[in-house]
Amino acid sequence: MRIHTSAGTLPAREPLGESGAPVLDVVVPVFNEERDLEACVLRLREHLARTFPYTYRITVADNASTDRTPEIADRLGRVVPEVTSVRLEQKGRGWALRAVWERSDAPVLAYMDVDLSTDLKALLPLVAPLISGHSDLAIGSRLAGGSRVVRGPKRELVSRTYNLILRSSLAARFSDAQCGFKAIRADVAERLLPMVEDTGWFFDTEMLVLAERAGLRIHEVPVDWVDDPDSTVRVVRTAVDDLKGVWRVGRALAVGALPLDRLARPFGDDPRDRAIGGVPGGLARQLVGFCAVGALSTLAYLALYSVFRAGVGPQTANALALLVSAVANTAANRRFTFRVRGRERAVRHQAQGLVVFAIGLALTSGSLAALDAAVGASPSHGTELAVLVAANLAATVLRFLLFRAWVFPDRRSDLPARDPRKAVR
């Protein structure tokens, strides 16, 4: 699979059909699993042969094992037609998944832990929404309603605490980040994987958080799951690494360092939606976001004006306060109102925002000048603030229109509309 790094949004999802390549590639990452590998792979293959209605492949990804695991994996790849093996000299589950997924030719990519703790009956429900074109990623969840889990109190506490941290710090809405039972469409993986830095256990979480922030659809499947008492996962070390990952991803999202706009889907994810004219996309949401940012910016502006006014005249204080608040306002609207992420065009957007600032400055400065001319004497501080609020309201309406039409236009609307009749197959 070729990694896609060019700009532009994702195309609409299409249902997947049979082609020369297997529809599903299930990756089983392993490290020193000579005792369980063969039995688990054969059990997985038997289940797929009996229940899965599409072609499939099972890929054993050996993570630099030092026992007989590579030998067993190689033999399975030679004896069982649906099985292949890949030897990797670097450890890390994320590293193994990335290495296999990047070169897989299957349109749906999945993975599961070799211990098969998750009941395999959930595999078809996991990948079906990806094959049909309904969802972008799918995860098995041990914490969703309807799941049945057997595990000790220590693992239960760690899992629930970790997911609580994700919800509180990264605003994650998915219920279970750590279950080793996930799938992704290959067209999404092409663009998403280059943004995921982790190569270990945090790989799953980082992938899900970025996908969710980009607005991709994540399908959750309640699973039956039985804890493996012989698991080699080091809980404390993994928890520390995960917390470091949460901090790194949270910081990257806060500063807009990731080009998540490349993962956007068309409105409604149906090509026919783009053929509907005269309907501005996301107007209500943008108005709410703009008003919220504007309210905070106005409070900051008035506070700054009061601070600057103590040392300089009203025109200078107004210009300084408006400049500082305008830069912050443009950055906030860029990220939260119009959902533009990444550093691409960031300088250009700020330059255009300064033009909008100049227009607002002209309106507010003109209002102050008109006030001085009308009153004749120095107006009170309260009167100045009242006039500036009224002028800012007028400037706000104009600022929103300029932001929407000029600074942050919806570039997806520039795509040629497809004939709705051609979208039906």
Q: Is residue 238 very low, low, confident or very high in pLDDT (cuts 50, 70, 90)? A: confident
Check residue 420 and give its pLDDT.
Answer: 36
Per-residue pLDDT at 223 exceeds 70:
yes
Per-residue pLDDT at 180 exceeds 70:
yes
Check residue 335 and give its pLDDT.
Answer: 82
Q: Which of 31-45, 138-152, 191-205, 263-277 has the lowest mean pLDDT?
A: 263-277
Most confident of 130-139, 149-158, 292-301, 369-378: 130-139
Check residue 7 and give its pLDDT.
Answer: 52
**Contact in structure between 266 and 273 (CB atoms under 8 Å):** yes
Per-residue pLDDT at 421 exceeds 50:
no
Please confirm, yes or no, whether 414 is among the known catalytic residues. no
> Residue 136, class by beta-carbon neighbours within 10 Å (0-12 exposed, 13-18 middle, 19+ buried)?
buried
User: Is residue 86 within a helix (H) or strand (E), and if so which, with residue range?
Assistant: strand 83-88
Q: What mean pLDDT is predicted for residues 216-221?
A: 95
Per-residue pLDDT at 12 exceeds 80:
no
Per-residue pLDDT at 422 exceeds 50:
no
Closest CA to 194 of 88, 342, 84, 339: 342
Per-residue pLDDT at 155 exceeds 90:
no
Q: What mean pLDDT is predicted for residues 256-274?
A: 66
Partnered with residue 28 across adjacent β-strands are 60
Tracing tokens 């830095």 back to the chain, one arrives at 197
Q: What mean pLDDT is predicted for residues 177-204?
A: 93
Catalytic residue among 62, 113, 204, 242: 204
- SS3 string, 256-287, reads CCCCHHHHCCCHHHCHHHHHCCCCCCCHHHHH
Q: What mean pLDDT is predicted for residues 228-250?
A: 77
pLDDT tens by residue, 317-336 = 888 888 888 888 888 888 88
Per-residue pLDDT at 168 exceeds 90:
no
Per-residue pLDDT at 276 exceeds 60:
no
Amino acid of residue 362? A
What are the start-end ranges of the E strands in 151-250? 181-185, 218-222, 224-226
Check residue 3 and give its pLDDT.
Answer: 44
Taking the whole predicted model, whether its pTM rises above 0.85 is answered as no
**Contact in structure between 261 and 185 (CB atoms under 8 Å):** no
Measuring CA to CA, how many Å separate 193 from each of 7, 203, 346? 15, 10, 23
> Residue 327, class by beta-carbon neighbours within 10 Å (0-12 exposed, 13-18 middle, 19+ buried)?
middle
Q: What mean pLDDT is predicted for residues 353-358?
A: 85
Q: What mean pLDDT is predicted for residues 114-118?
A: 89
**Contact in structure between 133 and 13 (CB atoms under 8 Å):** yes
Amino acid of residue 301? Y
Higher per-residue pLDDT: 51 or 18: 51
| Percentage, residues of the chain above pLDDT 90 | 36
Taking the C-alpha atoms of residue 344 and residue 340, their distance in angstroms, rounded to an integer, is 9
Tell me the average pLDDT of the chain: 83
233-248 burial: b if 16+ Cβ within 10 Å, else e: eeeeebeeebeebbee
User: Is residue 28 within a helix (H) or strand (E), and if so which, with residue range?
Assistant: strand 24-30
Q: What mean pLDDT is predicted for residues 1-20?
A: 64
| Percentage, residues of the chain above pLDDT 70 | 87
